[in-house]
């Protein structure tokens, strides 16, 4: 008997003109690891939430959702908790207790677990997930990666048969994301727990998965082994192609040009290791013998190569800045210095809790450093925090709902004082033209990001601060965002973005800086920065660094391989 089964499932949101899910049929066997992929709005989250009645959206449903042959709605609440564990996208949405220990025990208390059994399960979870050293800490003091790990541990303490995850790494830094996914792999391999995960970024998950299921327009359009489905998506130039592992993108990009060293269909490279082995057959053995083409894909490096106007002051300059959130707390920013040139697209990367968001808050005046200076467009800001409100600075926070106060998207945009024509034009520019009548809180995470960005752009800022702007965006939306930001920079608008999306930064930023322990420890152009990094770099660079040290993208690898093939012809 299948562990999970969706039979002819159709679902329509309340008031929606068309269904979000259309006659979906999907079976998941015990112990499988299934990855669910698709563009924003394809129905991934809607489908997963049907497995958890407490999380299911309001609307009309037909068809059946079965867990171990039983309708999910017929399961008692404690049975649902013990059968299906669910990890949400935003770590803060799931934590309810003040301490880590209390959070681990909370679910067990609610299903009536006795004290002895509860103590054993909490101890096992703390040890399995490596949480002993911060077991008694406040949950508010945890980093984003620690919070998501706590959510995973608390769910697994209930010993569910299936673990459902909805884009669980979207707010984690690259190193924390890889660690989190490694634990999910252990849960599946060592504990035999079935895993169903929705994910936009497929680089780190496909090699672990048994199946890749692709959704489009509320329907399943592909279902099979990740290598086979991935090759098909590449061959069809599907919009999901850029989300696939770099090794597979490079392989498929080269397939028809240089057949030497090409693998059989069942050995298509998915991981960095497999990609390195394939590349060793494809390119000469002399390490570093090839140079990636310059400029890199995307318009940003071309702008970066233009001579800087030394007469124009930087849009933002922080000098020896120190800041702490509480008098007795440790410093979050420690003698931080950072210069962001006017008209640049500047990316700030680093681990969760390294101080990136605090830099943005200091730049726009939401917080005031107790030492050092902050200058905007050559003018040092005064001690009054309110000074930052009149400098043409706009901030997109990690949680875009903080900017929402109206009942419809159209009203949100009109709130900025723009006329109907300007609102309509901005909505089309941000690809939200069809959402003007929707409530902002009814939208997906990616759509909320786009609405918030449109609202800020109507203020016509000179300095745009973006905190994780690609969070929740699919590959098509990221490409549209990159085009938009590039156009803004070309008009002289300065963009400072904080991001965990290293591929996005490598393709489109003019400069990248790494924040660690409250200070900038490395910075440079994308090629210089990522080629010199080992952990904070793109998958393509990790794959190709022995052969093409400056390669940042699959396109870089393909271009070098084509050049080598042409020379050898």
* DSSP conformation letters of 378-420: TEE--S-GGGGGGSSEEEE-SSGGGG--SSSHHHHHHTTT--H
Using the CB atoms, write b or e for 165-176: b if 16+ within 10 Å.
Answer: bbbbbbbbbbeb
Between the CA atoms of 484, 487, 492 and 494, what dihedral angle is there, to the nearest 10 degrees?
Answer: 30
DSSP one-letter string for 33-69: EEEEE-STTSSHHHHHHTT-TTTPPSEEEEEEEEETT
Percent above pLDDT 70 for the chain: 91
pLDDT, position 535: 85
**DSSP states along 541-555:** HHHHTTT-TT--SHH
Does 216 or 442 have the greater pLDDT score? 216
For residue 484, give every residue at least 6 positions away whose Cβ sits within 8 Å of its Cβ, in sequence order, or none.
429, 430, 453
More confident residue, 176 or 498: 498
Is residue 465 a contact partner of residue 363, using CB atoms and an 8 Å limit? Answer: yes
Domains 30-57+67-235 and 300-544 agree in fold = yes
Q: What is the mean pLDDT of the chain?
A: 88
pLDDT at 358: 93
Length of the chain: 569
Looking at per-residue pLDDT, the higher value among 144 and 346 belongs to 346
Residue 157, burial from CB neighbour count under 10 angstroms (0-12, 13-18, 19+): buried
Look at residue 77 in the predicted model and tell me its pLDDT.
Answer: 83
Q: How far is CA 420 from the centre of its chain?
A: 33
| Of the candidates 246, 216, 247, 248, the residue with the CA atom closest to the CA atom of residue 234 | 248
pLDDT value of position 304: 40
Please tell me the distance from the alpha carbon of residue 537 to that of residue 512, in angstroms, as a whole number.
11
Per-residue pLDDT, 296: 43
- The stretch 515-530 carries a mean pLDDT of 94
Is the pLDDT score of 262 beyond 60? Answer: no
Q: Which two tokens stand for residue 399?
A: 């949680």
Predicted pLDDT of residue 143: 80
The owner of tokens 């499932």 is 9
Tell me the pLDDT band of 309, cut-offs 50, 70 and 90.
low
Question: pLDDT-based confidence at 381, cuts 50/70/90?
Answer: confident
pLDDT digits (tens, 9 = 90+) for 240-252: 989 999 999 999 8
What is the per-residue pLDDT across 143-188, written as a single tens digit (0 to 9) for each? Answer: 888 899 999 999 999 999 999 999 998 888 888 888 999 999 999 9
pLDDT band at 527 (very low <50, low <70, confident <90, very high): very high
Query: Among 25, 32, 31, which Cα is nearest to 47's?
Result: 25
Average pLDDT over residues 83-100: 92
- For residue 110, give the nearest of 137, 82, 136, 138 by alpha carbon: 82
Domain boundaries, the chain: 30-57+67-235, 245-295+549-568, 300-544
CA distance between the termini of the chain? 56
- pTM for the model stands at 0.85
CATH of domain 300-544: 3.40.50.300
Q: Is there a contact between 78 and 111 (Cβ–Cβ < 8 Å)? A: yes
pLDDT tens for 107-131 read 999 988 998 999 999 999 999 999 9
Q: Check residues 59 and 569 and name the one with the higher pLDDT.
A: 59
Residues 370-389: b if buried by 16+ CB within 10 A, e if exposed: eebebbbbeeebeeeeebbe
- 277-295 pLDDT, tens digit each: 888 887 765 545 556 655 4
Tell me: pLDDT of 369 over 60: yes
The mean per-residue pLDDT over the stretch 554-561 comes to 90
Q: How confident is the model at residue 310 (pLDDT cuts 50, 70, 90)?
A: low
Does the pLDDT of residue 13 top 80, yes or no?
A: yes
Confidence at residue 340, expressed as pLDDT on a 0 to 100 scale: 96
**Helix-then-strand count for the chain, H and E:** 19, 20
30-57+67-235 in CATH: which number? 3.40.50.300
**The predicted structure's pLDDT at residue 144:** 80
pLDDT above 80: residue 257: no
When pLDDT is cut at 50, 70 and 90, the band that residue 438 belongs to is confident
| CA angle (549 as vertex; 543, 554 as ends), nearest 5 | 50
Three-class SS state of 475: helix
Is the pLDDT confidence value at 370 over 80? Answer: yes
């Amino acid at each position: 008997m299948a562990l999970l089964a969706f039979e002819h499932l159709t679902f329509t949101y309340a008031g929606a003109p068309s269904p979000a899910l259309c006659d979906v049929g999907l079976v998941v066997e015990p112990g499988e690891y299934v990855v669910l992929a698709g563009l924003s709005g394809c129905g991934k989250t809607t489908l997963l939430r049907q497995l958890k009645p407490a999380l299911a959206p309001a609307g009309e449903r037909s068809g059946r959702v079965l867990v171990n042959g039983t309708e999910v709605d017929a399961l008692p609440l404690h049975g649902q908790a013990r059968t299906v564990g669910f990890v949400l996208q935003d770590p803060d949405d799931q934590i309810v207790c003040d301490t880590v220990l209390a959070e681990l025990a909370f679910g067990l208390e609610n299903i009536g677990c006795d004290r002895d059994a509860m103590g054993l399960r909490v101890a096992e979870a703390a040890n399995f997930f490596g949480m002993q050293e911060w077991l008694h800490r406040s949950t508010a003091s945890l980093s984003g990666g620690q919070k998501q790990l706590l959510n995973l541990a608390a769910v697994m303490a209930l010993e569910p048969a299936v673990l459902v995850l909805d884009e669980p790494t979207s707010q984690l830094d690259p190193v924390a994301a890889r660690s989190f996914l490694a634990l999910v792999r252990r849960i599946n391999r060592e504990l035999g727990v079935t895993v169903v995960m929705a994910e936009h970024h497929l680089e780190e998950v496909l090699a672990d998965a048994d199946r890749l299921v692709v959704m489009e327009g509320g329907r399943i359009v592909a279902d099979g082994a990740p290598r086979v489905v991935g090759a098909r998506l590449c061959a069809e130039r599907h919009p999901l192609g850029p989300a696939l592992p770099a090794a597979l993108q490079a392989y498929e990009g080269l397939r028809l040009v240089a057949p030497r060293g090409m693998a059989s269909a069942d050995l298509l490279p998915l991981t960095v290791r497999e990609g390195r082995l394939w590349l060793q057959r494809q390119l000469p053995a002399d390490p570093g013998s090839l140079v990636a083409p310059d400029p890199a894909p995307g318009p940003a490096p071309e702008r970066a190569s233009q001579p800087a106007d030394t007469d124009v002051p930087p849009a933002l300059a922080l000098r020896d800045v120190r800041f702490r959130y509480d008098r007795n707390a440790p410093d979050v920013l420690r003698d931080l210095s950072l210069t962001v040139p006017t008209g640049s697209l500047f990316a700030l990367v680093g681990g969760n809790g390294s101080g990136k968001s605090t830099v943005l808050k200091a730049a726009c005046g939401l917080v005031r450093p107790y030492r050092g200076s902050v200058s905007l467009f050559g003018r040092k800001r005064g001690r009054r925090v309110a000074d930052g409100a009149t400098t043409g600075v706009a901030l997109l926070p990690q949680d875009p709902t903080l900017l929402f106060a109206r009942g419809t998207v159209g009203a949100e945009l009109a709130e900025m004082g723009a006329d109907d024509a300007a609102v309509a034009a901005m909505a089309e520019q941000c690809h939200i033209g069809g959402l003007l009548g929707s409530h902002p809180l009814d939208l997906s995470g990616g759509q909320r990001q786009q609405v918030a960005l449109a609202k800020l752009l109507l203020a016509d800022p000179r300095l745009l601060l973006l905190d994780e702007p690609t969070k929740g965006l699919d590959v098509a939306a990221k490409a549209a965002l990159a085009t938009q930001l590039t156009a803004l920079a070309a008009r002289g608008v300065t963009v400072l973005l904080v991001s965990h999306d290293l591929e996005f930064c490598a393709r489109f930023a003019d400069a990248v800086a790494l924040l660690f322990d409250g200070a900038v420890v490395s910075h440079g152009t994308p090629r210089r920065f990522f080629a010199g990094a080992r952990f904070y770099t793109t998958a393509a660079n990790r794959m190709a660094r022995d052969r093409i040290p400056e390669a940042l993208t699959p396109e870089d690898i393909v271009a070098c391989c084509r050049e080598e093939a042409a020379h050898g012809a």
